[in-house]
Amino acid sequence: MLRAQGLASPLPLRLLRATVQGARKRRREMTMLEETRDSEEIIERIAALDIGKATLVCCVRIPNDGKAGRRLQEVQTYTTMTRALLTMADRLRCLGVSRVVMEATSDYWKPVFYILEAAGFETWLVNARDVKHLPGRPKTDRLDAVWLCKVAERQMIRPSFVPPPEIRELRDLTRYRVDLVAARTAEKQRVEKLLEDAQIKVSVVASDIFGVSGRDMLAALLAGERDPKVLAQLARSSMRAKISALEEAFTGRFTDHHAFLLRTMLARVDQISADIAALDTKIEELIAPFASAVERLDEIPGIGRTAASVILSEIGLDMSRFPTPGHLASWARFAPGIKESAGKKKGREATGHGNPYLARVLGEAALNAGRTDTFLGERYRRIARRRGKKRAIVAVGRSILTIVWHLLSDPETRFVDLGADFYDTHIGPERKKRNHIRQLEALGYRVTLEPTA
């Protein structure tokens, strides 16, 4: 019996030792944990909308006052007509809903968003990619609305950027202007193809057939003039040196059929140009309250007043939506994406597809800056030599976005160019100094630098 007790006595000691070691391990693990900024707050009264062209499904989730920790849910279908939307807004107000979440479905979300925004609700527009169903779940409008509401109440999604009304109006005008410019360019290309069909090779000689000289020559063609020498004499200024080449270019077979089509095409070009001029006037009216911001953006190399108007219409004036310049660059997709698995980076460092209107104007600004004798111009040329023009456009576009963020964040900030020699006078010497110090330290020397008098 005593022997049995002697054999059994070490067992509690091992258990105690294991308990102590487990407690120490847990303490070490607790010291490794870091506090995060995430919160587990659940939005008590929330609504989610699955929007279509003719109807929408509204799911509302609110607390159940009779049972703690339980939720009440209501799912109803409304038409997208104004009266039905106002009725839905009244119902949401009666239920005490504080936040309404909806997916960005085509342009159908806009009237719903604007009506609920005007009614005083906190409206969130979310990316449909962020609220995809789990694999294997059935998909209907009703289930989509319920799923979106459940995801939104746990704050597992983030809202997309929707500018305020005055910026939205400006955005409508600037985007329509871009579309009109594209339409005018397409019509000009049709004119050039028509002249090629008539064996009129004026585009080979003149860099712009829609300049003053080119339009005079086209007008003479429409008036019935077919003599190449007479048409060539309509050239002005620097084109006078190309008269002999113009005579060869106008030797073709321009018929009445070509004249009819050319007259129609030129009328469309002129009408679109008039519409663009009217839009420019209206844009100047809407941009007037932001004249100070436009003037400060205009100081950036590669950006003019038109480009500044487009940038303001796309990102707005309130930079508090973007905590840092990196957030703005990431939102605009001017930052490389990160895709890593098993410690290895997957795929190329692609930026992804962002706002096409903003990307277009930033790309044009980067190209224009690359032709200037400024810091941005030198940055473009240095990167283009090593990495290619496309990467240089993205890099300089991101630099421009960073400058824009600082200018709009502080109204007192002004742009100061660092100069084209900044790399040679500042970055170059510092880099050489660091490299030499590392090499000497690698050889076992302790380096102390002392500037000369």
Model pLDDT for residues 26-42, shown as the tens digit of each residue: 666 666 656 655 555 67
Query: 304 and 270, same structural domain?
Result: no
Does residue 393 lie in a domain region? Answer: yes
Residue 158: per-residue pLDDT: 85
Cβ contact 194:261 at 8 Å:
yes
Report how far residue 304's alpha carbon sits from residue 311's, in angstroms, rounded to the nearest whole number: 11
Read off φ and ψ for residue 126, nearest 5 degrees.
-120, 155
Look at the pTM and tell me if it is higher than 0.85: no
The DSSP symbol for 46 reads E
Query: 400 and 296, same structural domain?
Result: yes
Token pair listed for 216: 């005079």
Query: 298 and 278, same structural domain?
Result: no
Which of the residues in the chain have pLDDT under 70?
Answer: 1-18, 20, 25-41, 132-136, 337-352, 453
Does residue 31 lie in a domain region? Answer: no
Query: 172 and 284, same structural domain?
Result: yes
Report how far residue 169's alpha carbon sits from residue 176's, in angstroms, rounded to the nearest whole number: 11
Complete edge-to-edge strand list for the sheet that includes strand 55-63: 71-79, 55-63, 46-51, 99-103, 122-126
Query: 300 and 266, same structural domain?
Result: no
Displacement of CA 173 from its chain's centroid (Å): 17
Domain end residue (candidates: 153, 186, 221): 153
DSSP string, 69-94: T-EEEEEEEEESSHHHHHHHHHHHHH
Count helices and strands in the chain by DSSP H and E runs: 19, 7
The 10 Å Cβ neighbour count of residue 22 is 10
Residue 29: per-residue pLDDT: 62
Provide the phi-psi class of 444: left if phi over 0, else alpha when psi is between -120 and 50, else beta: left
Does residue 158 lie in a domain region? Answer: no
Residue 4: per-residue pLDDT: 41
Query: 98 and 131, same structural domain?
Result: yes
Residue 136: per-residue pLDDT: 64
Query: 124 and 94, same structural domain?
Result: yes
Residue 264: per-residue pLDDT: 96
Does residue 87 lie in a domain region? Answer: yes
The 10 Å Cβ neighbour count of residue 285 is 11
Name the burial class of residue 441, with classes exposed (0-12), middle (13-18) and buried (19+) by CB atoms within 10 angstroms of its CB. Answer: exposed
Read off φ and ψ for residue 59, nearest 5 degrees.
-110, 125
Does residue 252 lie in a domain region? Answer: yes
Domain end residue (candidates: 122, 153, 184): 153
Residue 3: per-residue pLDDT: 44
Query: 385 and 326, same structural domain?
Result: yes
- Cα(first)–Cα(last) distance of the chain, in Å? 93
Domain end residue (candidates: 120, 153, 186): 153
Nearest-10 crossing angle of helices 389-409, 375-387: 150
Query: 248 and 219, same structural domain?
Result: yes
Query: Domains in the chain: how many in total?
Result: 4
Determine how β-strand 340-341 pairs with β-strand 344-345: antiparallel
Residue 106: per-residue pLDDT: 82
Query: 318 and 254, same structural domain?
Result: no
- Angle, CA of 122, 359 and 161, to the nearest 5°: 5
Query: 217 and 295, same structural domain?
Result: no
Cβ contact 203:195 at 8 Å:
yes
Q: Mind listing the pLDDT tens digit for each residue in 75-119?
A: 999 999 999 999 999 999 999 998 999 988 788 899 999 999 999
Nearest-10 crossing angle of helices 109-118, 82-94: 50
Report how far residue 217's alpha carbon sits from residue 225's, in angstroms, rounded to the nearest whole number: 9
- Please give the C-alpha separations between residue 34 and each of 23, 28, 29, 154, in angstroms, as whole numbers: 19, 12, 10, 22
Q: Which residues pair with 367 in a beta bridge?
A: none
Location of structure tokens 């600082």: 406
Determine how β-strand 55-63 pairs with β-strand 71-79: antiparallel
Residue 64: per-residue pLDDT: 84
Does residue 159 lie in a domain region? Answer: no
Query: 92 and 61, same structural domain?
Result: yes
Residue 127: per-residue pLDDT: 81
Residue in 318, 355, 297 with CA at minimum distance from that of residue 166: 318
Residue 139: per-residue pLDDT: 80
Query: Which residues constitute the domain of residue 428?
Result: 423-453
C-alpha torsion 168→169→170→176, nearest 10: 100
Does residue 347 lie in a domain region? Answer: no
Does residue 39 lie in a domain region? Answer: no
Residue 339: per-residue pLDDT: 66
